[in-house]
Amino acid sequence: MPLLYPLLLSAALFGIGLYGVLARRNAVLVLVGIELMLNAVNLQLVAYDAWFAETLHTGQVLTLFVIALAAAEIGLGLAIVLAMFRATGTIDVDTVEREVEA
Amino acid sequence: MRRWPYVVVTALVSAAVAVWAIPHLGDDPSTSVTYRGNDVGPALPRLSLDTVVDPMAAQVMLLAAGVALLVQVYSTAYMGDDKRYRSYAWLIVLFEIAMVAVVATDNLFVLLIGWEIMGVCSYLLIGHAWELPQARAGAAKAFLVTRIADIGLLVAIIVLGQTYGTYRISHLIDAAGQEEPRNATAIGLLLVLAVVGKSAQVPLHTWLPDAMPGPTPITALIHAATMVAAGVYLLARLLPVFETSQVAMTTLAVVAAVTMLLAALFAVAQTDLKRALAWSTVSQLALMFAALSTGNAAAGINHLVSHGAFKALLFLGCGVAMVAVGSSALSAMGGLRKSLPVTFWTMTIGFAALAGVVPTVGFFSKDGVLDALHVATDGEATLGGATAWVVLVVAVLTSGVTAVYATRLWTSTFLGAPAPAHGERRAMVGPLLLLAVACLALSVGQELHVGIGALSTLVAAVGIVAALWLRDRGWRVRFGRPLADELGLDAVFVRAAPAVTLGAARMVDAIDADGIDVYPRGGAWFAQRASWVIGAVQSARVQVYATIVAGGALLIVIGSVAAGVGS
Amino acid sequence: MSLPEVVFLLLSAVVIASAVLAVGSRQLVHAALWLVVTLGGVAGCFVLMTAELLAWVQVLVYVGAVVVLVVFALMLTRSPTGARSAEVTANRPMAAVLGLAASLGIGATVITGFRGVRITGARPGTAESIGDALFTHWVLGFEVLSVVLLAALIAAIVLSRSGSER
């Protein structure tokens, strides 16, 4: 298939993920947006690897790494969200700094 | 007894002035001695302490010194209980020094400084009892109206300096005498403007009667004998510089003629002794200016000195009467010759001098003025024969009216039914005696013009008779009301000047608010908006930060890609 | 248009639709569940690009672990459920603009660079070949990644404890 198909899909997914990060009120859903962006990146990496086809499999190995790091990151991120919830009672990213000040 | 030290100080100053001036009384006017003082200041315009004392100056200096000392003595009794006596007395001394400076100096700027100091002293002294609103108003009015005229003096000095290249009066007169005086009309008109304000001539005459809320001795010193006469002295001194200009001389003559008759008529209609004497002063000053307009400085100065003596006498006597009956209104006075005998006799001499009755000095000096006018009618002077005739007729008429109001005031104050009154005090009466003696003594050595003298005596007699006749009719006259209201000439100053000033001030304020203030306000508004915008960046909201980061990163990436593609 | 392409296009539609719903859904838990669909779709795309191992890892890690974490987090933070529980902020327009700009930018870049290129599938990403590459050439990165995971694990535990045992 044309290389462009996965690449364009990835571009769309990235934009959607960015919207989710910047527009969502709930902190957990912001993390969801981040996951979408990471998946977009993974798609690109795999696509390039499928096209390039080398023994190193750079793209796919890096995708593995990204998946692992994403898992670590979301685990840590959710721990932070929980800590924030315990401290301020809310995980609304828009109002949380006012709660912190108060 | 704390008042007497001031008298001593004033006496010392007056004595110093006398010692300085008396030797110059007999000087030949054409050669004057110049003292070398120290020069102060850089090149033009410059100040210098040089002085010139010719006989004319010497007379005026002696007048000023003498009246100041007498007023200071008089004030110990008149103002003895005043709580601001110290400032009052020191201001009299300062005033005397300023007057002597104006008279004796050879430098136009020192003259201007002395002129202005006199104006300031006048303001402070008229407003001495500043608790009274009319005193405050009178002081401010006097200062402001004379200030308007002083612009003329300042510009005249500058024009003189630029025309002749020097600010030394003696050099100016020499230069004007040798060649044809240049810019004579401009200088003449400017000087006329200056003296019109200072000496209260039409149209700037309204401040003098309104200065009457000041203490009476001050009125005697400043507004009768000296400060208002300084205008006459200035013109007399600088006469050679502008006497060739017919425009200036005619203007002066016309102003003088209008003022003398108008003020005399106003004086007749007054019901307040002090205010009537004020109008009388205005009228007599106009007489002096009339003499000057013919080019005869000697006649003008002569009348100045004699007027100083008898007007000071009249005002001081008026002060005695005011203390006696508690007010200056004519209605409160009457029959005071019993309770105030010395005052009665001295003021009779004073009123006689005012009316021009032989053998007082007033007769001789007024005749001198009339004679000067008569001499000018043959057309030899710059004034022009026709103008001189008109002024002469007006002056004769004025003499008649002067006799009328002098008689009216005399009879209303001293004759008739006695009003309740206290007695007179020695310190107040002493100066009166001295001045009365002076009124008679100064007649010695005066020139007698027989024809004019006969005419003026006749006119005075007619006036006295007319006054007595009017008295019998109870002083009911046609045109009494408008004259008592002084023809509403004051309305210009009272209404128009403040209205114009207020309008101009509002306009300036509007320009400042809309035209100039816009910039600082706009700058502040701009700074506020800018800080609001910048502050938005620091919103402490996570999403805003994330948005900015994402936007910035996108910009960088897309920008670099585009640049890479383009190159 | 061969079969893989058609399938890929269908899968793309699913992925995009579910992604839009994941970021746009008004209900919290619905958003999390739409994420599951998106990730599953991406896994399918991996398969179509001959990356079999990766597809399974994606399903295991993302769908199995990450989404579960998300749902648990929603539960533990007592997020409201029900309609209109997931609001968006006023940042929406700006976010939409930026998202669109990002998509267009990436799209334009890749179109410029890779127009007309085809995937040949010459070397499929089987477990054997990935494992070979991973443990021969990428060992260092692998080990470092393990350390990173350990650090993240410890950090998460510490963060979770500090609240209750302060």
Residue B251 has pLDDT above 50, yes or no: yes
* Mean pLDDT of chain B, nearest integer: 84
Q: How far apart are CA C18 and CA B215, in angstroms?
A: 104
Q: And the tokens for C83?
A: 């309609």
Q: What is the pLDDT of residue B243?
A: 83
Same domain, B415 and B559: no
Contact status of C2 with chain B (Cβ, < 8 Å):
no
B355 within domain boundaries: yes
User: Mind listing the pLDDT tens digit for each residue in C127-153?
Assistant: 889 998 999 999 999 999 999 999 999
Q: What is the pLDDT of residue B28?
A: 64
B546 contacts A97? CB cut-off 8 A: no
Of C70, C87, C110, the CB nearest to A31: C70
B354 within domain boundaries: yes
Residue C163 has pLDDT above 60, yes or no: no
* Residue C65 DSSP symbol: I
Total domain count, chain B: 2
Same domain, C156 and C91: no
pLDDT per 10-residue tile (average), chain A, 102 residues:
93 95 89 95 94 89 95 92 85 72 60
- Chain A, 54 to 93: residues with Cβ < 8 Å from chain C are 54-57, 60-61, 63-65, 67-76, 78-83, 85-87, 91, 93
Cα angle B290, B294, B300; round to 5: 55
Q: Which domains does chain A have, with CATH numbers?
A: 4-101 (1.10.287.3510)
Same domain, B365 and B261: yes
Q: Which of B242, B237, B208 is nearest to B59 (CA)?
A: B237
Contact status of C112 with chain B (Cβ, < 8 Å):
yes
pLDDT band at residue B464 under the 50/70/90 scheme: confident
Distances (CA, A) of B477 to A19, B269, B283, B489: 104, 9, 21, 21
Same domain, C113 and C140: no
Q: How far apart are CA B33 and CA B35, in angstroms?
A: 7
Same domain, B369 and B414: yes
Q: What is the pLDDT of residue C85?
A: 60
Q: And the tokens for A47?
A: 């696509």
Same domain, B549 and B466: no
Same domain, B549 and B400: no
User: Mind listing the pLDDT tens digit for each residue in B85-103?
Assistant: 888 889 999 999 999 999 9
Range of the domain at C138: 126-166
User: Mind listing the pLDDT tens digit for each residue in B363-389?
Assistant: 888 888 888 888 888 877 777 788 888
Same domain, C63 and C31: yes
Question: Tell me, what CATH number does C38's domain have?
Answer: 1.20.120.1200
Domain boundary among B484, B508, B540: B484
Range of the domain at B362: 246-294+301-484
Chain A interface test: which of C29, C88, C147 (most A C-beta within 10 Å)? C88
| Shortest alpha-carbon distance between residue A8 and chain C (Å) | 6
How much of chain C, in percent, has pLDDT values that exceed 70?
A: 90
Query: Stretch B239-258: mean pLDDT, rounded?
Result: 88
Q: What is the pLDDT of residue B526?
A: 92
Residue C164 has pLDDT above 60, yes or no: no
User: Mind listing the pLDDT tens digit for each residue in C36-82?
Assistant: 999 999 999 999 999 999 999 999 999 999 889 998 988 888 766 66
| Chain B residues with beta carbon closer than 8 angstroms to that of A23 | 543
Q: How far apart are CA C130 and CA A65, in angstroms?
A: 12
User: Mind listing the pLDDT tens digit for each residue in A62-88?
Assistant: 999 999 999 999 999 999 998 888 888
**ipTM, two decimals:** 0.89
Q: How far apart are CA B71 and CA B68, in angstroms?
A: 5
Same domain, C95 and C147: no
Of B544, B547, B558, the CB nearest to C105: B558
B554 contacts C105? CB cut-off 8 A: yes
Taken in order C37, C38, C39, C41, the sign of the CA dihedral is positive
C23 contacts A19? CB cut-off 8 A: yes
Residue C26 has pLDDT above 60, yes or no: yes
pLDDT band at residue B476 under the 50/70/90 scheme: low
Same domain, B469 and B541: no
Same domain, B433 and B479: yes
C61 contacts A67? CB cut-off 8 A: yes
Q: How far apart are CA C28 and CA C83, in angstroms?
A: 9
Same domain, B412 and B523: no
A94 contacts B543? CB cut-off 8 A: yes
**DSSP 3-state of A71:** helix
* DSSP assignment string, B230-286: HHHHHHHHHHHHHTT-HHHHHHHHHHHHHHHHHHHHHHHH-SBHHHHHHHHHHHHHH
Alpha helices in B415-541 (DSSP H): 426-441, 450-472, 480-484, 491, 497-511, 518-537
| Shortest alpha-carbon distance between residue C135 and chain A (Å) | 10
pLDDT band at residue C86 under the 50/70/90 scheme: low
Q: Are C77 and A31 a contacting pair, CB within 8 Å?
A: no
- Chain B, 533 to 552: residues with Cβ < 8 Å from chain C are 543-544, 547, 550-551
Same domain, C75 and C55: yes
Burial tier of B105 (Cβ tally within 10 Å: 0-12, 13-18, 19+): buried
Q: What is the pLDDT of residue B33?
A: 46
Same domain, C86 and C110: yes
Residues 6+ apart with CB under 8 A from A59: A45, A46, A47, A48, A49, A50, A52
Q: How far apart are CA B249 and CA A64, in angstroms?
A: 116
User: Mind listing the pLDDT tens digit for each residue in B22-57?
Assistant: 888 876 655 544 444 444 433 466 777 778 888 888
**DSSP 3-state of A92:** strand
Cα angle B308, B311, B312; round to 5: 75
Query: Stretch B513-537: mean pLDDT, rounded?
Result: 87
Total domain count, chain C: 2
Q: What is the pLDDT of residue B34?
A: 47
Of B547, B558, B565, the CB nearest to C95: B547
Same domain, C94 and C57: yes
Same domain, C18 and C74: yes
B143 within domain boundaries: no
- Chain C, 19 to 48: residues with Cβ < 8 Å from chain A are 19-20, 22-23, 28, 31-32, 35, 38-39, 42, 45-46, 48
Q: What is the pLDDT of residue A97?
A: 66
C91 contacts B543? CB cut-off 8 A: yes
- Phi and psi angles of residue B168, each rounded to the nearest 5 degrees, phi first: -90, 125
